[in-house]
Amino acid sequence: MTRSSFRSFFAAAAAAVLLAGSGRAETVYFTSYSTGALVRYDTTNPAGTITAVSASGSTTNPAALALGPDGNLYIGQDGDGASIAPSISRFNLTTNTLSTVYTFSSFDVFPGSLAFKGSDLLVGRNPFFANTGPIVKLTNVIGGTVGVSDYTTGGSLASSPGIALAADGKLYVSDQTYHFAGPLAGQATGPVKRFDASGAYVGEVIADGASGLSGPTGLAIKGTTLYTASIMTGAILQTNLLTDVTTAFASTGSSFEVGALAILSNGEIIAGSPSGSGTIYDFAVNGTLLGSFATGFGQIGGIAVVPTAAVPEIDPAMGGSALALVAGVMAMVEQRRRRRGA
C-alpha cells in the first residue's frame, strides 16, 4: 500500500466511524385501534421493519399512547363500553411485557389521549364514546397506589382526543364534539383550548372553524409551535404560541387521515390515520409530505417516538464494524512507526 493510498484508506475508515456515530435512528410505536396490537417500526425503514410487539387482541380499542419518564410505554384502552372497562396499561420496553396500571371500573373515562406532566399522567377523553368532562390526572402510575382526580377546571370540554403540554406548563386541549345525529351527523367540530400550569381554563387558541380547523384531534408541541390535526380536512395546522397566530402546515388531502401526531428528533411530524387505511404520514419541517406507508393494522390509535442511539456499523462486506476497522489501521500505523524507529 502506497503512502497516499494508505492515507486515503485511513481517512475513509475514519469518515465511516464519524458518519455511523452521527446518525440516529428512532423507533416509532403505535397502537392499532382496530386489532388491539402494539406495533413498532424503525424510521430508517418503516415498511420493512414493522413488527407487532404485542399481539392483536392484547388490548381492547387502544386509542392513546405515551412514553413515560420511566422509559416505558403507557396505553390508554377504551374497552368495549360494556363488559371490558377502559384502562391504562404499561408496556415494559425492557421485558416486552404488558401489565394493567389502572382500570376505570365505573366506565366514566374513556382515554382518547395521554400526556405526562412529570410523573403524573394526564388523560383526555375519546369523542367517539361521547365522553365529556375535564382532563383526568393519575398519580403514582410509575409505581405505588394510583390516585385519580380532575386536572382541569373551567372551560367545559366536550371531549379531548388531543392534549399537549408546553415547556411553560400550559396545557393545550382539542375540545372536539363528534356529532352522532342531526344535520352534522358524522362530522367533528370544536376549538382548541388553553389551560394554565395549574389546570385552570384560560381561553380558546383556535376557534371552531377558524384557520381551517374542522374537528381538532391530535396535538403536538415543538418549541413554541403547536401542531393540530384537523380530522375533517385531513390537514395539520401550526400555531405560534408566542402570537397565537395559526396557519396551514400540511395536508394529506383526504378527510379522516390525520389523528394522532408525534414529532421526530429531527423535527419531522408524523401523523396516524384514524380511518381504516392504517396509513402513517411523514411530513418535513416545512410541511412537505415526505412519504407514507400503509401499516396494515387498520385505525391508528396513539403514536409515540422512542429515540435510539445509532449503532456504529458499516457494511459487513468491509470486514466488521468501522471502529474495528480504524483500530486495525491505527495498529498498522504504530507498527510502521516502530520499524522506522520513530
Residues 179-191 have pLDDT tens digits of 999 999 999 999 9
Domain with residue 126: its CATH number is 2.120.10.80
Percentage of the chain modeled with pLDDT above 70:
83
Number of domains in the chain: 1
**Structural Rg of the chain based on CA atoms:** 24
Quick one: which of 54, 61, 66 has its CA closest to 95?
54
Mean pLDDT of the chain: 88
318 within domain boundaries: yes
* Of 3 and 40, more confident: 40
Cell of 333: 500505523
Higher pLDDT: 66 or 10? It is 66
> Is pLDDT of 21 > 70?
no
The three three-digit cell numbers of residue 11, written as one number: 481517512
Cell readout for 325 is 476497522
The pLDDT assigned to 25 comes to 83
| Spatial contact of 112 and 161, defined as CB atoms under 8 Å apart | yes
Average confidence (pLDDT) over 304-318 = 58
Identify the DSSP state of 108: -
pLDDT at residue 307, rounded to an integer:
87
Tell me: pLDDT of 162 over 60.
yes
Position 14 scores a pLDDT of: 37
Give the model's pLDDT for residue 100. Answer: 97
pLDDT at 309: 54
In a domain, 145, yes or no: yes
Residue with cell 387505511: 277
In-domain check, residue 341: no
Mean per-residue pLDDT, 286-310: 93
What's the average model confidence in pLDDT over 239-254?
98
Specify the range with the lowest mean pLDDT, choosing from 24-28, 114-118, 144-148.
24-28
The pLDDT of residue 79: 97
Rounded average pLDDT over 26-35:
98
Half-sphere exposure of residue 26, counting CA atoms within 13 Å on the CB side?
16
**pLDDT per residue over 92-120, tens digit each?**
999 999 999 999 999 999 999 999 999 99
Grid coordinates representing 236? 395539520
- Tell me if 20 is assigned to some domain: no
Answer yes or no: is pLDDT of 129 > 70. Answer: yes
pLDDT band at 5 (very low <50, low <70, confident <90, very high): very low
Per-residue pLDDT band at 24 (split at 50, 70, 90):
low
202-211, 314-323, 331-340: lowest mean pLDDT where? 314-323
The C-alpha cell at 21 is 456515530
- Flag whether 211 is in a domain: yes
Asked, for residue 301, whether it belongs to a domain, the answer is yes
Domain membership of residue 233 (yes or no) is yes
Please give the Cα distance from 312 to 322 (Å, whole number).
Answer: 7
State which residues form the domain around 256. 25-325
Q: How many angstroms separate the CA atoms of 311 and 291, rounded? A: 25
